[in-house]
Structure 1
């Protein structure tokens, strides 16, 4: 696969929240997938993780009850020893390693469902608090114009799309919020595959998308 220059990156706030482990699982998956593709964001994330480690080292010692040690030992004895992490390697195919772990494979392992106008989706199983899905947008097709009731992170994995905010290609991530109103359109010549996470339903303008919204969980 040809290399693509990434021009749209994560904010410091999102990277810090990811490093602190305070984001919903759906958002964490999108960020982990982007970071696996983006040298810039990976370096910035390492800095925030190092800073967090320094803060913990400087933190005071908390007093523990006598029962705390027994509780920890009991939990350790009931779990299998953790495997040593293997060296990171970029897998072949469209999906980076963090996403392949969720899909249990690459693009050919996805079970798509139609959502209208040629667009397909596959919702991935994550904890409550946010939803994450794969989107397949045919070349030249548009997603219905919509706004947002919360935050949406959209990472391009294949192809590219354009909207009112700019052009997004493989590795680029778009961060949309309640002020964003847009109509993403896949560029001609290649279907666009995206990974998108939302923490609130979208706000569609058209009647048909609004009627279908409860059934499509978007």
Structure 2
């Protein structure tokens, strides 16, 4: 799927709050000019296209640096000291997503999504689901296809799915009969933000157990 096609895909769905948060988080992750210059940067391109160009003031660069430093200070303040390491990981999420994830955790426990996989539902409307996933190093999802589209943004760490490798800021789109088995890289947990339309169709024993709902029980901690 070309960058232009994915850009159009996101633009067509901007009425969906899940897509808006997904696109805003992607744009936040790709604030580096190197990302904005990439041809495969549809989410950031979408947001930039919506902005009216303005002339930069002489102090614009200093003001931007001050905003970044203030945001980093808020991140440090949000991170618990000597507390739950997963809460500390959530406190380091991009700002458009961080507050949503922390609020969701107050009302919802992590759910099991497989061996070494935790899922935190963030929003849902009909068959649209937005969730944060935490995948332990070397763990991954069972091979599956898709009943609807699955849009995935890597927040930290990385994963390979047999078709490609994805790192922080990368977006993948799986549609229809596209079959893959994402597996996290070794070294650190992989966090992803996923928007799915409909339920994935899993294969094998794990898929059978997930269809029974055995991986939907809440996990504390």
Give me the TM-score of the superposition, normalised by structure 1: 0.66
- CA separation in 2, counterparts of 1:165 and 1:108? 36
Q: Which has more radius of gyration?
A: 1
Verify the 8 A CA contact 2:159 2:182 in the aligned structure 1. Answer: yes
What SS does the corresponding residue of 1:34 show, helix, strand or coil?
A: helix
RMSD (CA atoms): 3.3
Residue 96 of structure 2 corresponds to which residue in structure 1? 98
- CA separation in 1, counterparts of 2:13 and 2:162? 32
- Closer, same or farther: CA 24–172 of 1 in aligned 2, 3 Å: same
Question: Which of the numbers 4, 14, 17 marks the counterpart of 1:25?
Answer: 17
Q: Give the total of aligned pairs.
A: 174
User: Unaligned regions of 5+ residues in structure 2, if any?
Assistant: 53-65, 76-90, 217-221
Higher mean displacement: 113-122 or 134-143: 113-122
Higher mean displacement: 142-151 or 39-48: 39-48
Verify the 8 A CA contact 1:148 1:179 in the aligned structure 2. Answer: yes
Higher relative contact order (CA 8 A, sep 6+): 1
Question: Which of the numbers 7, 12, 17 marks the counterpart of 1:15?
Answer: 7
- Closer, same or farther: CA 13–158 of 1 in aligned 2, 3 Å: same
Q: How far apart are 1:139 and its partner, in Å?
A: 0.4
Give me the TM-score of the superposition, normalised by structure 2: 0.65
- Closer, same or farther: CA 111–25 of 1 in aligned 2, 3 Å: same
- CA separation in 2, counterparts of 1:112 and 1:165? 28
